[in-house]
Structure 1
């Protein structure tokens, strides 16, 4: 039994066409040269034979490597935003591309210098990637490293302060507004926003959405309790605010880790969730939001869509399609679990 790889000639014989017709279909130049029926037969024959064009030969003919480079701070090495990479990979695979990642650490893009970032980008360019995507673990406004402007490029979950590149980010303000509206619709009047630092763009956007929903409902927004981003931050803050004389009936946490800390503090204080206190998170963090008891209601970030749309943008640029977008604000999704419920009856404030 032969173990040799199928060739374009094998596909041509099976489909009843010429070898050149197979090459045109596989190289994307069949339009106007090969009939639709013949193209269909060729693709069916290629699938049946598990035929794939030699990537080196394709690269030489097209002067491309078929690779998209992704430069991130810590997405690949953290459990948080991995779906963004999945979105890039999905769009790339649909167009016959592969993606490779340079994950350069938590402190990347954090300061005024871009030495490490530029080094990573230059290394990918030297390896002949066709396009580049810059992605961050949390929403940020960045100064774009100059080497990024030498190839088709886009940004995902971050944006360019000068507007030089298309940016694909979550509409966090609108998401926070809908999250707060969910709580007001349940009858909550004292809704407290807890958590977050001042080093990223997410907090101003989420606070703006919270304030908009409270104002629309005719309610007084409560002063934000700044507490950081981690479980222990939410736990420490909640131990104070949940023992005050006018405790909230609902907490809107800056992210799911803070929400988990609030949940733990509420349990330690003998409060039932959601009967005594509703808790709503943000992010829909995998392996956390659905794993708490009760599961966290949360406004999820569209990581997959950010990655997919950024990849489609650079691939369209590579195909010579004129860009008509500076990016997109992508809709967040509300996932309801068991940590939110009606406001407790009889609350006088």
Structure 2
């Protein structure tokens, strides 16, 4: 009996013959090279579909020393910022012809990050993005800058030599939030910050302080949370207990803002009639809260495109400017001028009855 022999799978040269083009042209199409005529690309893609051709990524990596893959290190915490950034990076990479290899970490341990970077380099990735919410990883990529380009997503970080920084303008977004409250007439604006080892939390806290200082207003009422709604609720309850309650609160993220609003309501206070609340992130769904949440929108899609552009820039080309994506204030129903009606004194849980 003649042993069964599997037919040879189609290769790049088979596609070239069927499409009537060179094998170099097929390679450019497969690798998403931008300078290919639309008609030629269509012929090649038609031949690929007809033959059932699949590119051999491993072989291509051995020959070209390129894998068309971006390595991404990010926090495994279920938080909107890191998750939204990862989704945006994957979308931007795919649009540019790259795949994404993700390493999610429950904690940013330097030894684990170091091992992950080494694994990415061994796999031949074309670049690495470190979504670094905490200061602990800001210098961790330094040994690898000579092997592959590295971009650190961290607002306000001091990078290692050779590491590029990309970020949303966290401080500018915070200042826009506080400026909005000042423009409405608020003169005492509290802040519920995130955990300060996080770059974003530190930058938003700095923005709150600097904008208040620019208007000669005090930055006195400061509490903190851990980004969760529960910690926002606890901070809101502390805000009520300490009294008197400020007329406005800038909260470092939307999840904590949701908790703050619930705490204020449980304390007998209305939003925005008694206390205005501004969040940060513009998470999906906050426009359906009652009231809808005024917040700061991070353009994470623009951040993802910026990171991929920085990684794929030709060596020796000038640094792209800017490397910071602006943040935009979105005004909704949770903010208003500090007008409190005659029933305010009766509702105030802190015992103060004087008008404000």
Query: Which category of TM-score, normalised to the shorter sequence, fits these structures?
Result: 0.7 to 0.9
Pairs within 5 Å for 1:1-349 = 17=21, 21-23=25-27, 26=30, 39-48=37-46, 51=49, 54-56=55-57, 58-74=60-76, 78-106=79-107, 108-109=108-109, 114-137=110-133, 142-149=138-145, 150-157=147-154, 159-216=157-214, 218-229=215-226, 230-242=228-240, 246-286=244-284, 289-290=286-287, 292-317=289-314, 320=315, 322-325=317-320, 328-345=323-340, 348-349=355-356
Closer, same or farther in 2 for the Cα pair 1:20/1:329, shift >3 Å?
A: closer
Q: Mean alpha-carbon deviation: is it higher for 169-178 or for 127-136?
A: 127-136
Closer, same or farther in 2 for the Cα pair 1:22/1:199, shift >3 Å?
A: closer
Contact 1:157/1:306, CA 8 A, preserved across alignment: no
Structure 1 unaligned segments of length 5 or more: list them.
none
**CA RMSD between the two structures:** 3.2
Deviation at 1:100, TM superposition (A): 0.5
Contact 1:299/1:332, CA 8 A, preserved across alignment: yes
Contact 2:74/2:103, CA 8 A, preserved across alignment: yes
Deviation at 1:117, TM superposition (A): 1.0
Contact 1:27/1:58, CA 8 A, preserved across alignment: no
- TM-score norm. by structure 2 comes to 0.78
Contact 2:15/2:48, CA 8 A, preserved across alignment: no
Contact 1:68/1:131, CA 8 A, preserved across alignment: yes
Contact 1:234/1:258, CA 8 A, preserved across alignment: yes
CA distance in 1, matches of 2:287, 2:163: 35
Q: Mean alpha-carbon deviation: is it higher for 223-232 or for 61-70?
A: 223-232
Closer, same or farther in 2 for the Cα pair 1:21/1:247, shift >3 Å?
A: closer
Deviation at 1:331, TM superposition (A): 0.8
CA distance in 1, matches of 2:24, 2:195: 60
- TM-score norm. by structure 1 comes to 0.80
Deviation at 1:286, TM superposition (A): 4.1
Deviations 1:251-287 (A, max 9, x none): 1112223212210111112222112211111222345
SS in 1 for 2:313: helix
Contact 1:166/1:326, CA 8 A, preserved across alignment: no
Structure 2 unaligned segments of length 5 or more: list them.
1-8, 345-354
Deviations 1:33-63 (A, max 9, x none): xxx7xx2311132345565762435434422
